[in-house]
Amino acid sequence: MAKKQKIKFKESVGIDIGFHSIKLVHLKKIHNGFKLLNYEIMPTIPPGTDYTPSDLSKNRYAPVLAEMLSTLKIKPKKVKHLVSSIGGDHLSIKQIKTIFLPDEELESALFFEAKKHLPISGSDMVLDFQVVNVEERTNNMNIILVATNKEHLQNHTDVLEAADLTPGVIDAEPLALSNSLLFNALIEEGVYIILNIGAHKTNMVIYGPQAKYFTRDLAWGGYFFTKDVMKRKKLSFEDAEKYKFEYGITGEKKKQEEVKGGGGLSTLEISDKPTEEQIALEVKRSLRYYVKEAGNSDFRKVLLVGGSAKIKGLPEYLQEQLKIPTEVFNPFVSLELPEKLKDKRDPQLALAIGLAMRTE
């Protein structure tokens, strides 16, 4: 997360190391943007393995990453521009306002300022920041503070080095998602909501050209959709995963209605809130908080990314609940695509693409 000078490069690699899968994107810099050379998505859990999150070792990441590089014929030592990301409970991001300070004073002053706003102890803190703008009227600076702890950062670099990669730029997941939106969408005035539905959490990012930046992790993700199906249909994890994407939440509701009169779901099961409802409730709470703190309710669009963004009926359900236009985000808009990949545009690559498109 250290500040880096602008790097000139011909090719770049973006790596999103998720709990359930790793996403790797290989881009080539061309005169008017980027060309997608190739990508790979590989699960971190071997097929047939019982999926018990608490029993899964961190050591599983590096061999999978090494295999992906080999599959794509990328030699780790020849990767000159590598961008990866960290997120989760050990990452904190907050936008603050402070008096104008010259560059030579800003970094040291922000370290003390960060201790007031971010829940990481000073001795263990790794801090970075980005100046959003300087207000003309007040001369105050709007700054995004990003902090993690040394252990979390070291664990991440250990994975990269174990796959024979040299760590490069390490970004924060929410900021990389914002970059993906900036590079691949027409952003007008107003506020945009990105929901990155990962395996065990949903990273919510609120972003707009003139809006206050906000991010929060919601404790619901794709794993919980699968658990819903496992419970209702008495299926294994692997079969429930397939069922989830085949039928989606709309198909599941129709099936519930069909068996309502017979020996179907119990009253207890029907009364449990499904994952899509939990996510909708948490997003509503976050938006109420945002409006109160930022004084801005000009919400233009909800954009879904991540593996579970592909669940049938989910965009329609969230749009109905939130009363905001909702769609699956296409992170390939600004990329030149080879013929072999034109029909393989996966929304769970949004983060990796945002990383690979970072130029400094």
For 221, the token pair is: 């993700």
Residue 206 CB coordination number (10 Å): 22
Please tell me the predicted confidence (pLDDT) of residue 253.
53
Dist CA 34 CA 29 (whole Å): 5
Residues 347/330, Cβ–Cβ less than 8 Å: yes
First to last CA, the chain: 11
Residues 202/218, Cβ–Cβ less than 8 Å: yes
Q: For 302-313, b where at least 16 C-beta lie within 10 A, e where not — what string?
A: bbbbbbbbbbbb
Q: What is the mean pLDDT of residues 119-123?
A: 67
Q: What is the mean pLDDT of residues 259-264?
A: 42
Please tell me the predicted confidence (pLDDT) of residue 176.
92
Please tell me the predicted confidence (pLDDT) of residue 69.
97
Domains annotated for the chain, with CATH where assigned, are 186-328 (3.30.420.40)
Strand partners, 299: 191
Torsions phi, psi of 248, nearest 5? 65, -175
pLDDT band at residue 311 using 50, 70 and 90 as cut-offs: very high
Torsions phi, psi of 241, nearest 5? -60, -45
For residue 287, the surrounding DSSP H or E stretch is: helix 275-294
Residue with tokens 């992170």: 331
Burial class (CB in 10 A: 0-12, 13-18, 19+), 82: buried
Strands 169-172 and 125-134: unpaired
Which has more pLDDT, 359 or 142?
A: 142
Dist CA 221 CA 276 (whole Å): 9
Residues with Cβ within 8 Å of residue 228, at least 6 apart in sequence:
252, 274, 275
Dist CA 193 CA 196 (whole Å): 10
Strands 335-336 and 33-43: parallel
Strand partners, 130: 144
Mean pLDDT of the chain, nearest integer: 86
Dist CA 179 CA 188 (whole Å): 15
Q: What is the pTM of this model?
A: 0.87
Residues 356/27, Cβ–Cβ less than 8 Å: yes
State yes or no: pLDDT of 79 exceeds 70: yes
- The DSSP letter of residue 72 is T
Residues 205/215, Cβ–Cβ less than 8 Å: yes
State yes or no: pLDDT of 7 exceeds 60: no
State yes or no: pLDDT of 53 exceeds 80: no
Please tell me the predicted confidence (pLDDT) of residue 188.
79
pLDDT band at residue 209 using 50, 70 and 90 as cut-offs: confident
Percent of the chain with pLDDT over 70: 89
Residue with tokens 């070291």: 154
